Amino acid sequence: MDNQIWVGPNVLPELARLLASPAVGQVVVVVDANTVTKCLPLLEPYLPAGYRVVEIPDGEEYKTLASCETLWAELTEHRADRHAVVVNLGGGVVTDLGGFAAAVYKRGVRFVQVPTTLLAQVDASVGGKTGVDFMGFKNQLGVFQEAAGVFIDPRFLQTLDLRQLKSGYAEVVKHWLIADADAFVRNRSIGIMVDDWTPIIEESVALKQRIVAQDPLETGLRKLLNFGHTVGHALESYLLQQPGREVLHGEAVAAGMVCEAWLSHHKGLLSALELDRIETFLFSVFEKIQFVFLETEAIADYARQDKKNTGAVINCTLLEGIGHGVYDQAVTLDEIDQALRYYHRLPG
User: CA 47 to CA 49: how far, in whole Å?
Assistant: 7
| Per-residue pLDDT, 233 | 95
| Per-residue pLDDT, 235 | 97
Closest CA to 176 of 188, 164, 189: 188
DSSP-based three-state secondary structure for 329:
strand
Percent of the chain residues past pLDDT 90, beyond the cut: 91
pTM here? 0.92
| Per-residue pLDDT, 193 | 81
The count of other CB atoms within 10 Å of the CB of residue 61 is 14
Distances (CA, A) of 166 to 86, 121, 336: 28, 13, 25
What is the band of 25 on the pLDDT scale with cuts at 50, 70, 90? very high
Chain-wide mean pLDDT for the chain?
A: 95
Q: Which of the residues are catalytic? A: 107, 129, 171, 208, 218, 222, 226, 229, 233, 249
In this structure, of 7-16, 206-215, 216-225, 304-313, the range with the lowest mean pLDDT score is 304-313
Q: What is the mean pLDDT of residues 309-325?
A: 92
User: CA 328 to CA 321: how far, in whole Å?
Assistant: 16
User: CA 194 to CA 56: how far, in whole Å?
Assistant: 31
| Per-residue pLDDT, 190 | 83
Q: What is the pLDDT of residues 171-206, one digit of tens each?
A: 999 999 999 999 999 888 888 888 899 999 999 999
**Looking at the predicted structure, is the pLDDT value of residue 2 above 70?**
no
Q: What is the pLDDT of residues 206-224, one digit of tens each?
A: 999 999 999 999 999 999 9
Residue 114 contacts residue 65 (beta carbons within 8 Å): no
| Per-residue pLDDT, 305 | 84
Q: What is the mean pLDDT of residues 337-347?
A: 96
Query: Which domains are seen in the chain, by residue range?
Result: 5-159 (3.40.50.1970), 162-345 (1.20.1090.10)
What is the band of 312 on the pLDDT scale with cuts at 50, 70, 90? confident
| Per-residue pLDDT, 3 | 63
Closest CA to 137 of 234, 245, 257, 242: 234
| Per-residue pLDDT, 18 | 95
DSSP-based three-state secondary structure for 180:
coil
- The set of residues, in sequence order, having a beta carbon less than 8 Å from that of 63 and lying 6+ positions away, is 93, 96, 97, 132, 133
DSSP-based three-state secondary structure for 334:
helix
